Amino acid sequence: MKNAIMLFVLALFATSVHSQSLTQKDLTGTWLVTNIENSSSNPKMAAAMEKAVINLYADNSFEIKEKQDDGPYSYKTTTSKNATWTFNPSTQTISITQSKMTLKVSQSGGKTYFTDSNSGLKFEVSQPM
């Protein structure tokens, strides 16, 4: 009976871990930065990324657009024109070419986060409807 319970617990744990994994298809699209956690670790980058838009296109091109102060819908693209992204599902990381940016993807409490491995900033992101 103990073995059956342990097997059930292990299966339940494996299912919950698997359900938290995202795929490249899940990540493709537009992501809005809605909140930045631990912004004091890199205040300059945090200020630039506040309300930024991260585009992960299906053709694997990539761009970040930073919100500008001169209007409600004014954005400036701040990434290299030829930047591309790749996703590693086993590590749940997005790697960006043309830069050393690597984003660790995670989910918690129904929210999605991209954590920049270089700066340590954790961006809460959401996809617009």
Domain 23-126 in CATH 2.40.128:
yes
For residue 79, the SS3 value is coil
User: Does position 53 have pLDDT exceeding 70, yes or no?
Assistant: yes
Dihedral angle computed from the Cα positions of residues 84, 41, 125 and 101, in that order, rounded to the nearest 10 degrees: 10
Average pLDDT over residues 101-118: 94
Q: Any bridge partners for residue 102, and if so which?
A: 95
Q: Could you read off the pLDDT of 90-107 as tens digits, one per residue?
A: 999 999 987 788 999 999
d(CA 41, CA 102) in angstroms, rounded, equals 17
Domain parsing of the chain, residue ranges: 23-126
Tens digit of each residue's pLDDT (9 = 90 or more) over 60-85:
999 988 877 766 666 667 777 788 99
